[in-house]
Amino acid sequence: MLNFTKASLYVALLCATVPALAQTNITSTAGSLTAQYGNSNAVENYPKLIDNNTSTKYYIDKTSLWVQFEAARSAVVTQYSITSANDYADRDPKNWNLQASNDGKTWTTLNTQTNQAFASRFLTKTYSFTNTTAYTIYRLNVIANNGAGAIQIAEWQLQGTLTGPASGPTNVTATVQSGYKINLTWSDNATNETGYRIESSLDAVNFLTRATVAANATTYTDSALSAGTSFIYRVRAVNATGVSSADTSDVVKTSVAPSGFDITNYTNAKFNDPYNTTGAEGLDKAFDNSPYTKYLAWAATTAIGYSLPGGAVATQYSITSANDASDRDPRNWTFQGSNDSTNWTNLQVVTDQQFTARYKKRTYVFPNTTSYKYYRLNITANNGASITQLSEFEIIGTGTGTVNTGVPAAPTGFTTQSVSSNQIILDWADAASTETNYRLERTTDTLNWNTAFVLPVNTTHFYSLDLSPLTKYYYRLRAENANGASAWVTGNNTTLTATPKSVWQEHWFAHVEPLTLNYSNSSVNIYFDAAVSPSITWMNQDFTNVWEYVKQNYGSFSDPKLNMVFHSKAGYSGGHPANVFDASHDYANVGDLGGSWATREGWNLHASIHEVGHIVEGGSKGVHNSPSFPIWGDSKWAEIFIYDVMKRLGWSADAQQAYNDFVVKAESFPSPDTYWFRDWFYPIYDRADSSAALNRYFELLSQYFPQHNGEYTRDLNLGEFVHFWSGAAQFSLELQADTAFGWTKQLEMQFKQAQIDFPFTYPQPLLAPAVAAVPEKKAAVLNIWPNPASNVLNLSLPDAVKVYNVDIYNIAGVKRVSQRIKGNYNSLSISSLPDGVYIVTVTDDKKIIHRQKIVVSNTNR
C-alpha cells in the first residue's frame, strides 16, 4: 500500500434540506476531506468516511492517524458521530480527540474520548459537547485503536450550524504588478459582511491570511512578495459569525530577481545574533554558502545582524529553508538598515510566509538607494515551533568591502572504501566556504589522470562507479574557485573480485537464506533458495536479455551484472529491489522475489521485470533514490517499463498481454479513477520516441533535480512530475495531465513553479490528449530545447525527409559546431562547448529558417 504524507480529495455535494432548528450534517456540505494516510485501494480509501454509506469503510494499516474536513464556510459544530465498520472490532478507534482550527496551525480541542468500544458492527455512536465558536477546519485525531495493527471506520459525520455570510465573493482576479506586487479584484456579493479576508498560497492547499479589508471593498494589492514565485489567492467575506465560501484566482507568477553580488561574502563583514549562537548549528552556518548546514536559534524569534565598515546599498535578500521541521521556518520578519546600529529603518516588512519544501530558497526585492553599514533580519515569528532555523541568508547589493582573493581551503579527511568489483566510495570533509566546485581525478597508473569529475559546491561524498574488478585506482581531489585551486589530496584503493559467490548468504530485512548460484553469465547471476528446483531455467536467457536491454537504453548502472534471487521457501512472497548504492545488498543490483517459479507465466514474468524497473528508477544516471516513487507508487512506472521491455525484446504476445492487463487498471492516486497506463504513460510512449522518452526522463532528473552527494534530496510534487515528463516527451503534457489526473489549481501552481525552478523548455503539445488508442503523429514544428542546455541539444524539424544544416556560433561569431541532420527529432552533442551564450542557426537550402540564442552550461549542472 502507498502512504501519502497528505492526501486530498475535494468533495462538492448539495446540502440536503433540513427541518427548522435541526443541525446540518457539515460533512455532506461543500468542502474538502483530507487524511494523514491514503489507501491505494480506492474501495477502502478515506473518501468512504463521508459517502453516507455505512457498508463502505476507510481502512489503513496504521494504529494512529488523523482525518480532517475543511468546510467551505464557517460552521459551529456541537456534535459528531462515528460508525463502526463491517468486521474486526479490534480495528475500531479507542482513544481520540476532535480539534478545530481556522488556519490549520492553531488548534482547539473540542472533545476527547478514551476507552471507547463499539458493541456491534455498523454501530453509530454520537458525541455531543458545548461549543459556540465557528471554525472552518475540524480534525479527528485517532490516538489508539482496540489492539489491531490497522484502523477502520465506516462513517464520520460532523453536525452543527453553518454560519458566516451566505454569499461569498466571485470573479476573483489576480494581476502581477511591477515591484513584486499582485493586485486583486473581486465582485462584492455579500450584504452582511464586515470585511473581506485575503488569503494566499504557494501550493493551493495551505492558505495563509495576508490581510482583511473593509466591507464593500473590491480590490487589494499584496506587496513584499518573493521573486520568481507562483501564487494563488482566495477571498472570503467575513462577519462576526465566521467566513463565507471562498472564490479562488488563477495562478500568477512574479518575475525573477535580477542577478547581483552577495555582500555577505565580503571577508571583512561581521555577523551577530542575540544569542551568540555558535557550534555545529551556529550563526556562521547561515553564511557558509551551503544549504546542507543550518543556523538554529533556540527561541521562537531571533535577529540576524550583518555589518560592513564601508557600507553597502542592499536591494534584495534571500532566505533558504533548512533540512527538516517546517514549523521552525521563519514566518514573519522585518528587514532593516542602520548606520549606527541603534536607529533602524524598515526596508521591508514581511508576514505570513511559507516554504513549501526543504532547501527552498525565496528571494525578496525592495527599493533602496541608501548605503547602510548595518543590516538586520528581525524574525518576529516562525511557523509554530519553539526554535527557529534557516540554512542560508544572503544579502544582494553593491558595497565597499574586501573581496576574497584566496584559493579555497583543501578538503580534509579524504578516505576511500572499496565496496564491490565496480565501486569505490570516497568521503571527505568540506573545509572550504568559497569553492565554486570540486575537481576529482582518477587514474590506474598515477601518471595519466584522464578521468575528471567536476562536482558541485559542498560535496563531501562520491560514488566512483563503473570500475574494473581487482584494479587499483588512485584519486586526487581539490577545491576550485575563480582565484585558483587548493592543494590536491590523494587516496587509493583496489576493487573487489567480480567472481560471483557460489553461495550468497542473505543478510537483509528478514531474509536469512543461503542462496545457491544456479546460473551465471556476463550479464546475470541467478540465485535460488533451497526450495526452488535447480532444473528451472526459463529465467536464465530472459533476464540476460532484460538486463542487456536495460543497459542499452538506460545506461550502465555501474555493475555489468544483474542478480536475480528466487525464493520458494514458505514465508517469502512478493519482491523487493536493491541497487549498487545499497550496502544492505552488498552494493549489487538485485531483484529478490518469492513465489512458485516452475513456469514462465504472467505474474512470474511481470513481478520479476517489475523489480528491475525499481533498480532503474532508484539508481539511474549514477544518482541514488527515486524522487518519483511517492507519485507513481509501487508502481505505475513498472507498467510502462514492463511493456517497453517486452516490446523491445520482441516478446509480442507478452507485450500484448501486458497492454491488455494495464490499460484497464484504475487507481485512487493521485485522484480517484486514475488510469495511469491508459491516460498517461502509454500516450507519452506512443506519441514521443517511446524508449528514448523513458530514458530522457531520468536524464533530466539527473541534470536538474536537487541532489547532494550523489542522492536526490527530496521528492517531486505532481506539477514537477508533469514538467519533467514534458521534457522527456519533448512537448508540454498539460492537456495529457488534465486527462489523466485532472488539472487542479494545485497542479497548475506546482507546474508553473517547476518551470521557474527547472528552466528546461519544450514546445506545446503536438496533439490533443487521448487515451491509449491514439492517432498517428503529425509533422513536428521547429523547436530547440532545453535552454539552458547541458551536453545535448534537442531539435524538432518540420520535414522528416529534408536535410538541414545546424550551426552553433559563439557570441563573437565564431562557428563552434556544424552538423547536417535529418528527421523530425534529433539530438546534437554540445559537450565540447565551454559554458556561455551561443547562437544556433538552422539552414534549409542555403536559407536560414531559424535563429535562436541558447545558454550552454556543461560544467555546473
Q: CATH number for the domain including 184?
A: 2.60.40.10
168, HSE (Cβ side, Cα atoms, 13 Å): 20
Distance CA 261, CA 220 (A): 33
Distance CA 408, CA 482 (A): 10
**Within its chain, how far is the Cα of 567 from the centroid?**
35
For position 22, what pLDDT does the model report? 52
Average confidence score pLDDT of the chain: 91
Q: Is 611 within the bounds of a domain?
A: no
For position 790, what pLDDT does the model report? 77
Residue 823 above 90 pLDDT?
A: no
List the CATH number of the domain containing 266: 2.60.120.260
pLDDT band with cut points at 50, 70 and 90 for residue 14: very low
For position 775, what pLDDT does the model report? 35
Q: Is 286 within the bounds of a domain?
A: yes
> How far, CA to CA in Å, does 845 sit from each of 757, 776, 803?
39, 28, 9
Q: Which residues pair with 809 in a beta bridge?
A: 815, 839
Q: Which residues pair with 852 in a beta bridge?
A: 840
For position 607, what pLDDT does the model report? 95
Mean pLDDT of 256-261: 94
For position 826, what pLDDT does the model report? 74
Q: What is the pTM of this model?
A: 0.78
Q: Are residues 12 and 154 in the same domain?
A: yes
Distance CA 248, CA 136 (A): 16
Structural domain span for residue 473: 418-433+443-494
Mean pLDDT of 259-268: 95
Each residue's pLDDT tens digit, 599-644: 998 899 999 999 999 999 999 999 999 999 999 999 999 999 999 9
Distance CA 721, CA 719 (A): 5
Q: Are residues 92 and 180 in the same domain?
A: no
Q: Are residues 642 and 724 in the same domain?
A: yes
Q: Are residues 57 and 181 in the same domain?
A: no
Better pLDDT: 233 or 843: 233
pLDDT band with cut points at 50, 70 and 90 for residue 672: confident
Distance CA 63, CA 51 (A): 23
254, HSE (Cβ side, Cα atoms, 13 Å): 24
Q: Are residues 108 and 22 in the same domain?
A: yes
Residue 777 above 50 pLDDT?
A: no
- Which domain-ending residue is among 231, 253, 275? 253
SS3 assignment, position 828: strand
For position 621, what pLDDT does the model report? 95
Number of folded domains that form the chain: 6
SS3 assignment, position 718: helix
Q: Are residues 31 and 106 in the same domain?
A: yes
pLDDT band with cut points at 50, 70 and 90 for residue 768: very low
Each residue's pLDDT tens digit, 44-65: 989 999 999 999 999 999 999 9
For position 824, what pLDDT does the model report? 67
Residue 306, Cβ neighbours under 10 Å: how many? 25
Sheet bearing 170-177, strands edge to edge:
170-177, 181-187, 219-222
Task: Lowest mean pLDDT of 216-220, 438-442, 761-765, name the range.
Answer: 761-765
Q: Are residues 632 and 728 in the same domain?
A: yes
For position 312, what pLDDT does the model report? 98
SS3 assignment, position 337: strand
- Which domain-ending residue is among 228, 253, 278? 253
Q: Are residues 52 and 26 in the same domain?
A: yes
Mean pLDDT of 347-354: 95
Q: Which residue has the cell 487521448?
A: 770
Residue 497, Cβ neighbours under 10 Å: how many? 10
Task: Return the DSSP state at 509.
Answer: T
Mean pLDDT of 77-84: 97
Q: Are residues 156 and 132 in the same domain?
A: yes
Distance CA 773, CA 679 (A): 10
Each residue's pLDDT tens digit, 161-216: 999 898 999 999 999 999 999 999 999 999 999 999 999 999 888 898 999 999 99
Distance CA 739, CA 675 (A): 9
For position 17, what pLDDT does the model report? 30
Q: Which residues pair with 804 in a beta bridge?
A: 821
Q: What is the 3-state secondary structure (H, E, C) of 846-861?
A: CEEEEEEEEEECCCCC
Q: Are residues 133 and 273 in the same domain?
A: no
Each residue's pLDDT tens digit, 676-701: 999 999 999 998 899 999 999 999 99
The three cell numbers of residue 166 are 451566505
Residue 69 above 90 pLDDT?
A: yes
Q: Is 822 within the bounds of a domain?
A: yes
Angle at 223 between CA 222 and CA 224, to 5 degrees: 140
The three cell numbers of residue 135 are 471554525
Q: Is 525 within the bounds of a domain?
A: no
pLDDT band with cut points at 50, 70 and 90 for residue 527: very high
Q: Are residues 244 and 274 in the same domain?
A: no
pLDDT band with cut points at 50, 70 and 90 for residue 765: low
Q: Are residues 246 and 272 in the same domain?
A: no
Could you give the maximum distance between any two Cα atoms of the chain, in Å? 92
For position 859, what pLDDT does the model report? 67
Q: Which residue has the cell 528491475?
A: 612
Distance CA 420, CA 13 (A): 59
Q: Is 591 within the bounds of a domain?
A: no
Q: Is 411 within the bounds of a domain?
A: no
Task: Lowest mean pLDDT of 18-22, 411-415, 490-494, name the range.
Answer: 18-22
Q: Are residues 613 and 628 in contact, defined by beta-carbon separation less than 8 angstroms?
A: no
Distance CA 482, CA 118 (A): 71
SS3 assignment, position 83: strand
SS3 assignment, position 116: coil
Residue 671 above 90 pLDDT?
A: no
Q: Is 104 within the bounds of a domain?
A: yes
Q: Which of 554, 665, 561 is closest to 616 using CA atoms?
A: 554
Distance CA 438, CA 477 (A): 7
Q: Which of 251, 34, 235, 246 is closest to 743 using CA atoms?
A: 251
Q: Are residues 14 and 40 in contact, defined by beta-carbon separation less than 8 angstroms?
A: no
